Amino acid sequence: MSMTTAIITGDIINSRKATPEVWLPYLKTALDTYGKEPTQWEIYRGDSFQLEISPEKALEAAIYIKANVKQKKGIDVRMAIGVGEKDYDSEKITESNGSAFINSGECFENLKKQTLALKSNSETFDAPINLMLQLAALGMDNWLPATSRIVKTAMEYPNANQKELASVLEKSQSNISEALIRAGFDEVQKMIQFYKTHLSQL
């Protein structure tokens, strides 16, 4: 019995420039938010990882992982989202199989300079989303650690206003406001919403 799912395949950019203790806790914290190890996520080959998640949450999760990891200066993450079927369910995510895994793997192999892309079984769905991801990455790839921390916190408290975020982060409200504008956070949220709306047409 196959089911529709999403697989995020990723690896850490510049992982060799820092010891794993520097970035690994941030990656694990983010992955733990979305599932259990090793059935839903697994880290392998030192700096590569795979996460299974519902297609609705996949893009949001990828951006949240990015915001977590980029809290460390000079570290970034490259990710491919594959949407499709899961035909074989193993106790370890890296041993499961189906078109979602194949799409994610193929997409990851083709990333080159891009840090985030998506592949489903529908080219008409993928094309506009990937164009948006390329444009969004122009900003997201340049998030500084302080900005990343604010984005991460804003995603953890989706209903909080800037005043509440300021109190969580012990910063001024103007700090929060400026960082979210700099991060293009409104546009990122609109992109996530666009993705979710069009996903239902797949």
**Distance from first CA to last CA of the chain, Å, rounded?**
19
pLDDT at residue 34, rounded to an integer: 97
What's the average model confidence in pLDDT over 186-202?
Answer: 94
pTM of the model: 0.97
User: 97: Cβ–Cβ under 8 A, 6 or more apart, which residues?
Assistant: 86, 87, 88, 90
More confident call, 201 vs 134? 134
Q: What is the spatial distance between Cα 114 and Cα 133, in angstroms, rounded to a whole number?
A: 9
Q: What is the CATH number of domain 3-199?
A: 3.30.70.270
pLDDT at residue 12, rounded to an integer: 97
pLDDT, tens digit, for every residue of 56-86? 999 999 999 999 999 999 999 999 999 999 9
Q: Is the pLDDT of residue 201 over 90?
A: no
Joined together, the tokens standing for residue 152 give 């991460």
pLDDT at residue 202, rounded to an integer: 79
